[in-house]
Structure 1
Amino acid sequence: MSNRVVQGRMVTPGTLAELIEGSPVLETEDITDADRPCPECDGDVIEVGYMPSVTEFVTGYKCQDCDWSDDDRE
């Protein structure tokens, strides 16, 4: 599924990646369900793979119910 509802509004993969990254990204994959609950509110977490730059690929995670987000960077 490519679009999802996050905090009451419909987002595309690009919009979701921007919410997680804080700035526009180059490329995105489809949004998928993450197999973990939100650590802050226990809500549903979704994930999206994206390229913030030409040399980096990141998987970002965002709660559908609250402001929590994270990525797989070390």
Structure 2
Amino acid sequence: MSNRVVQGRMVTAERLAELIEGESPMEADGIEDADRDCPECGGDVITVDYMPSVTELVTGYKCQDCDWSTTDR
């Protein structure tokens, strides 16, 4: 599992999922580079797969430079 810098802070996959979801996930997988740029600032976007509940798997996307984030829901 890798850590990444997001908005100047080192984050784990669990913390990245929490930033995207707004609450702690049950489980989160490793962070990967997304093949896209942020629509708000043009910065690099990273992705994380996480489970907010027992029955749901979500892919979250977060800009490393600004507050923008989204999911595949």
TM-score, normalised to structure 1's length?
0.97
Instruction: Tell me the SS of whatever aligns to 2:14.
Output: helix
Which consecutive segments of 4 or more residues in structure 1 shift more than 2 A? Answer: none
Q: Which residue does the alignment assign to 1:46?
A: 46
Give structure 2 stretches of 5+ with no counterpart. none
Deviation at 1:47, TM superposition (A): 0.2
Q: Look up the equivalent residue of 1:49 and give its one-letter code.
A: D
Q: Which residue does the alignment assign to 1:13?
A: 13
Of Structure 1 and Structure 2, the greater strand share is in 2
Instruction: Tell me the SS of whatever aligns to 2:30.
Output: coil
Deviation at 1:71, TM superposition (A): 0.2
Distance (Å, rounded) in 1 between the aligned partners of 2:29 and 2:61: 13
More divergent stretch after superposition (1-10 vs 36-45):
1-10
Distance (Å, rounded) in 2 between the aligned partners of 1:64 and 1:24: 19
**RMSD after superposition:** 0.7
TM-score, normalised to structure 2's length?
0.98
Give structure 1 stretches of 5+ with no counterpart. none
Q: Which residue does the alignment assign to 1:66?
A: 66
Distance (Å, rounded) in 2 between the aligned partners of 1:5 and 1:65: 9
**% same residue:** 75
